[in-house]
């Protein structure tokens, strides 16, 4: 009788360290710290852009965040940023503002400020 196989689900950060940092946890930690330090500025820029109906700024920051969040091991947050980017490209302000609010909440939870 075959033994059941156990599927181990790798932690997002551990997977990111392995995939994007060649296993170098210290390099990942340094990168993560730099990103967390940048998040408050990104939040402020996007908050102001959302109020000002500035889709170009929302698009620019979302474009950056989709890669950063994926590299940090947060693919769901990265997908939110990608969706926001696509919505900004389409010029749908109300949807972009709602998507920014959702992405903003995730950034705050990750340690990006208030």
Question: Token digits for 2?
Answer: 């075959």
User: Is residue 17 in some structural domain?
Assistant: yes
User: Is residue 77 in some structural domain?
Assistant: yes
User: Is residue 42 in some structural domain?
Assistant: yes
DSSP annotation of 112: S
Could you read off the pLDDT of 77-109 as tens digits, one per residue?
A: 999 999 999 999 999 999 999 999 999 999 999
For residue 3, the SS3 value is coil
Residue 8 has pLDDT above 60, yes or no: no
User: Is residue 5 in some structural domain?
Assistant: no
CATH number at residue 29: 1.20.120.160
Confidence of residue 113 (pLDDT cuts 50, 70, 90): low
User: Is residue 29 in some structural domain?
Assistant: yes
Q: Look at the chain and report how many structural domains it folds into.
A: 1
Could you read off the pLDDT of 50-64 as tens digits, one per residue?
A: 999 999 999 999 999
Residue 31 to residue 10: CA distance in whole angstroms: 20
Confidence of residue 7 (pLDDT cuts 50, 70, 90): very low
User: Is residue 99 in some structural domain?
Assistant: yes
pLDDT attached to residue 3: 54
pLDDT attached to residue 12: 86
Residue 101 to residue 80: CA distance in whole angstroms: 10
Residue 5 has pLDDT above 60, yes or no: no
User: Is residue 38 in some structural domain?
Assistant: yes
Its domain, for residue 33, covers: 12-109
User: Is residue 7 in some structural domain?
Assistant: no
pTM for the model stands at 0.85
């Amino acid at each position: 009788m075959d033994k059941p196989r156990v599927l181990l689900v790798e932690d997002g950060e551990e997977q990111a360290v392995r995939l994007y940092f060649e296993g170098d946890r210290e390099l990942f930690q340094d990168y993560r710290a730099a990103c967390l330090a940048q998040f408050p500025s990104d939040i402020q820029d996007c908050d102001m852009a959302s109020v000002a109906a500035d889709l170009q700024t929302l698009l620019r920051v979302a474009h950056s965040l989709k890669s950063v969040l994926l590299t940090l091991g947060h693919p769901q947050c990265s997908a939110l940023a990608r969706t926001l980017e696509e919505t900004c490209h389409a010029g749908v302000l109300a949807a972009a503002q709602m998507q920014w609010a959702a992405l903003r909440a995730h950034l705050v939870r990750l340690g990006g400020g208030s």
